[in-house]
Structure 1
Amino acid sequence: PRPSPPDGRQAAAALAFPDRLPGGSCALDLNGRIAYVSASAADLLGAPVSRLLGTLPWEELPWLDHPTVEARYRAAIVSRETTAFTAVRPPGRRLRFHLYPDATGISVRITSDATGDPPAAADPEEYRQGAPPVPPPVATGRLGALYHLMHLAATLSEAAGVRDVVRQTAEQMAPALGAQALALLMAEDGRLRLAGESGCPPELAESLYSIPLTADTPPVRVHTTGAPLFLHSGHELHAAFPRSGLPPDMGAWAFLPLVASRRPVGTLVLAYDQPRAFPSGERAVLSSFAGLVAQAMDRARLYDAKQELARRLQAGLLPHRLPRLPGLDIAARYLPAGVGMGVGGDFYDVIRLGPSTAAVAIGDVQGHNVDAAALMGQVRTAVHAMAGAPPADVLARTNRLLVDLDPGLFTSCLYIELDLAEHRMCLATAGHPPPLCRRPDGTTDTLDVPPGLLLGIDAGAHYTSTETDLAPGTVLALFTDGLVESPGTDPDEATGDLAERLSRSASHDMDGLADALVGHARGSAPRHDDVALVLLRTREAAPAAGKGPG
Structure 2
Amino acid sequence: MTGGAGADPVGRALLCALRETGASAGALYVPADDEPVLQLTVMSGLPATFLAPWRRVALAAPIPVAVASREQRLVWAGDRRQLSRDFPRTAVAVPYEFSLAAAPVGGTAGPRGALLLLWPGGHAPRLSADERTAVEASCRHLAALLREHHRSEGPDPRSDDSASRPEDPAPPSAGSASPSADSAPPPDGPRVLTIPPARPVSPDEALAAADCLERLPGGCCALDLEGRITAVTTGAARLLGERDTRLLGTRPWEILPWLRDPAFEDRYRAAVISRRPVSFTACRPPDQWLTFRLFPDGRGLSVWISPSDKDYRPVEPYPTPADVMPARAGQIYHVLHLSAALTEAVGVQDVVDLVADQIVPAFGAQGMIMYSAEAGRLRTIGHRGYSAEAVATFEGVALGAAVSPAVHALATGEPSFYTTREEMERDYPGLPQLTGKAARAVLPLIVSGRPVGCCILSYTRPRTFSQDERQVLTSLAGLIAQALDRARLYDTKQQLAHDLQAALLPHGLPRVPGFAVAARYLPATRGMDIGGDFYDLIRLDDDSIAAVIGDVQGHNAAAAAFMGQARTAVRAYATAGASPAEVLARTNRLLAALDPDLFTSCLYVHIDLRTRRACLAGAGHPPPLLRHPDRHTTVLHIPPGLLLGIEPGARYTATELTLPPQSVLALYTDGLVETPGTDPEHSVADLARRLNDAPPVGPERLADTLLEYRRDDTDRQDDVALMLLAALPAGPVTPV
- Measured after TM superposition, the shift of residue 208 of structure 1 is 5.2
- Measured after TM superposition, the shift of residue 438 of structure 1 is 0.6
Equivalence map 1:486-525=2 (5 Å): 486-487=675-676, 491-524=680-713
Q: Give the corresponding residue for 2:507.
A: 320
- Measured after TM superposition, the shift of residue 297 of structure 1 is 1.0
Q: Kindly tell me: are residues 204 and 535 of structure 1, through their superposed partners in 2, closer, same or farther at Cα, counting changes over 3 Å?
A: same
Give the SS at the match of 1:257.
strand
1:289 equivalent to 2:448? Answer no
Q: Give the corresponding residue for 1:80.
A: none
List runs of 5+ in structure 2 lacking aligned partners: 1-16, 25-44, 55-92, 95-99, 101-115, 124-191, 196-223, 230-250, 254-259, 270-275, 282-289, 297-301
Does the 8 A contact of 1:418 with 1:424 survive in 2?
yes
| 1:205-264 per-position Cα deviation (integer Å, ceiling 9, x unaligned) | 555555454361212222233222211211110121114376464331111111123221
Q: Give the corresponding residue for 1:274.
A: 461
- In the alignment, the residues of structure 2 paired with residue 460 and residue 511 of structure 1 have an alpha-carbon distance, to the nearest angstrom, of 39
Letter of the structure 1 residue corresponding to residue 292 of structure 2: G
Q: Give the corresponding residue for 1:197.
A: 383
Give the SS at the match of 2:553.
strand
Equivalence map 1:471-490=2 (5 Å): 471-487=660-676
| 1:372-417 per-position Cα deviation (integer Å, ceiling 9, x unaligned) | 1111001101111111322222212211222211111221111111
Does the 8 A contact of 2:672 with 2:720 survive in 1?
yes
Q: Give the corresponding residue for 2:149.
A: none
- Measured after TM superposition, the shift of residue 340 of structure 1 is 3.6
Q: Give the corresponding residue for 1:101.
A: none
Q: Give the corresponding residue for 2:284.
A: none
Give the SS at the match of 1:457.
coil
Q: Give the corresponding residue for 2:368.
A: 182
Q: Give the corresponding residue for 1:129.
A: 313
Q: Kindly tell me: are residues 221 and 500 of structure 1, through their superposed partners in 2, closer, same or farther at Cα, counting changes over 3 Å?
A: same
User: Match for 2:444 among 257, 281, 305?
Assistant: 257
Q: Give the corresponding residue for 1:239.
A: 426
Q: Kindly tell me: are residues 93 and 134 of structure 1, through their superposed partners in 2, closer, same or farther at Cα, counting changes over 3 Å?
A: farther
- In the alignment, the residues of structure 1 paired with residue 541 and residue 720 of structure 2 have an alpha-carbon distance, to the nearest angstrom, of 29
Does the 8 A contact of 2:516 with 2:726 survive in 1?
yes
Q: Give the corresponding residue for 1:8.
A: none
- In the alignment, the residues of structure 2 paired with residue 413 and residue 540 of structure 1 have an alpha-carbon distance, to the nearest angstrom, of 29
Does the 8 A contact of 1:160 with 1:340 survive in 2?
no
- In the alignment, the residues of structure 1 paired with residue 560 and residue 357 of structure 2 have an alpha-carbon distance, to the nearest angstrom, of 35
- In the alignment, the residues of structure 1 paired with residue 225 and residue 643 of structure 2 have an alpha-carbon distance, to the nearest angstrom, of 58
Moved more, 474-483 or 173-182: 173-182
User: Match for 1:373 among 552, 560, 581?
Assistant: 560
Q: Give the corresponding residue for 1:36.
A: 117
Letter of the structure 2 residue corresponding to residue 236 of structure 1: E
| 1:520-539 per-position Cα deviation (integer Å, ceiling 9, x unaligned) | 32115631111111111112
Q: Kindly tell me: are residues 292 and 478 of structure 1, through their superposed partners in 2, closer, same or farther at Cα, counting changes over 3 Å?
A: same
| 1:438-476 per-position Cα deviation (integer Å, ceiling 9, x unaligned) | 111111121111222211222222222111121121111
- In the alignment, the residues of structure 2 paired with residue 284 and residue 540 of structure 1 have an alpha-carbon distance, to the nearest angstrom, of 74
Q: Give the corresponding residue for 1:447.
A: 636
- Measured after TM superposition, the shift of residue 71 of structure 1 is 8.4
- Measured after TM superposition, the shift of residue 518 of structure 1 is 2.0
Give the SS at the match of 2:596.
coil
- In the alignment, the residues of structure 1 paired with residue 646 and residue 267 of structure 2 have an alpha-carbon distance, to the nearest angstrom, of 53
Equivalence map 1:10-89=2 (5 Å): 31=54, 35-38=116-119, 50-51=193-194, 66-68=261-263, 87-88=279-280
Q: Give the corresponding residue for 2:653.
A: 464
Give the length in aligned residue pairs: 494
Does the 8 A contact of 1:436 with 1:476 survive in 2?
yes
Does the 8 A contact of 1:127 with 1:133 survive in 2?
no
Q: Kindly tell me: are residues 466 and 544 of structure 1, through their superposed partners in 2, closer, same or farther at Cα, counting changes over 3 Å?
A: closer
Moved more, 536-545 or 292-301: 536-545
User: Match for 1:364 among 551, 569, 573?
Assistant: 551
| 1:309-350 per-position Cα deviation (integer Å, ceiling 9, x unaligned) | 121112101111111121111111111111442212110011
Equivalence map 1:300-315=2 (5 Å): 300-315=487-502
Q: Give the corresponding residue for 1:170.
A: 356
| 1:115-140 per-position Cα deviation (integer Å, ceiling 9, x unaligned) | x9x9xxxxxxx974377999999959
Q: Kindly tell me: are residues 160 and 39 of structure 1, through their superposed partners in 2, closer, same or farther at Cα, counting changes over 3 Å?
A: closer
Does the 8 A contact of 2:527 with 2:717 survive in 1?
no
- In the alignment, the residues of structure 1 paired with residue 709 and residue 23 of structure 2 have an alpha-carbon distance, to the nearest angstrom, of 42
- Measured after TM superposition, the shift of residue 187 of structure 1 is 2.3
Q: Kindly tell me: are residues 26 and 230 of structure 1, through their superposed partners in 2, closer, same or farther at Cα, counting changes over 3 Å?
A: closer
Give the SS at the match of 1:344.
coil
Letter of the structure 1 residue corresponding to residue 367 of structure 2: A
- In the alignment, the residues of structure 2 paired with residue 373 and residue 519 of structure 1 have an alpha-carbon distance, to the nearest angstrom, of 26
TM, length-normalised to structure 2: 0.59
- Measured after TM superposition, the shift of residue 357 of structure 1 is 1.0
Does the 8 A contact of 2:603 with 2:621 survive in 1?
yes
User: Match for 2:615 among 416, 423, 426?
Assistant: 426
- In the alignment, the residues of structure 1 paired with residue 121 and residue 566 of structure 2 have an alpha-carbon distance, to the nearest angstrom, of 67
Letter of the structure 2 residue corresponding to residue 183 of structure 1: I
1:536 equivalent to 2:536? Answer no
Does the 8 A contact of 2:521 with 2:719 survive in 1?
yes
User: Match for 1:403 among 592, 596, 612?
Assistant: 592
User: Match for 2:528 among 324, 341, 345?
Assistant: 341
Moved more, 432-441 or 479-488: 479-488
- In the alignment, the residues of structure 2 paired with residue 363 and residue 310 of structure 1 have an alpha-carbon distance, to the nearest angstrom, of 18
Give the SS at the match of 1:534.
strand
- In the alignment, the residues of structure 1 paired with residue 664 and residue 447 of structure 2 have an alpha-carbon distance, to the nearest angstrom, of 54
Moved more, 298-307 or 59-68: 59-68
Does the 8 A contact of 1:145 with 1:177 survive in 2?
no
Q: Give the corresponding residue for 2:126.
A: none
Letter of the structure 2 residue corresponding to residue 275 of structure 1: P
| 1:33-70 per-position Cα deviation (integer Å, ceiling 9, x unaligned) | 8953447999xxxxxx9549xxx987689579842368
Does the 8 A contact of 1:252 with 1:272 survive in 2?
yes
Q: Give the corresponding residue for 2:176.
A: none
| 1:155-188 per-position Cα deviation (integer Å, ceiling 9, x unaligned) | 2222211111111122221122222222111123
1:143 equivalent to 2:332? Answer no
Moved more, 57-66 or 272-281: 57-66
Give the SS at the match of 1:269.
strand
Equivalence map 1:204-215=2 (5 Å): 204-205=390-391, 207=393, 211-213=397-399, 214=401
- In the alignment, the residues of structure 2 paired with residue 318 and residue 428 of structure 1 have an alpha-carbon distance, to the nearest angstrom, of 21
| Higher normalized contact order (CA 8 Å, seq sep 6+, divided by chain length) | 1
Does the 8 A contact of 2:605 with 2:616 survive in 1?
yes
- In the alignment, the residues of structure 1 paired with residue 578 and residue 465 of structure 2 have an alpha-carbon distance, to the nearest angstrom, of 76
Q: Give the corresponding residue for 2:5.
A: none
TM, length-normalised to structure 1: 0.77
List runs of 5+ in structure 1 lacking aligned partners: 1-11, 20-24, 43-48, 75-83, 97-111, 119-125, 546-550
Q: Kindly tell me: are residues 531 and 204 of structure 1, through their superposed partners in 2, closer, same or farther at Cα, counting changes over 3 Å?
A: same
- In the alignment, the residues of structure 1 paired with residue 19 and residue 665 of structure 2 have an alpha-carbon distance, to the nearest angstrom, of 52
Give the SS at the match of 1:515.
helix
- In the alignment, the residues of structure 2 paired with residue 128 and residue 462 of structure 1 have an alpha-carbon distance, to the nearest angstrom, of 84
1:92 equivalent to 2:279? Answer no
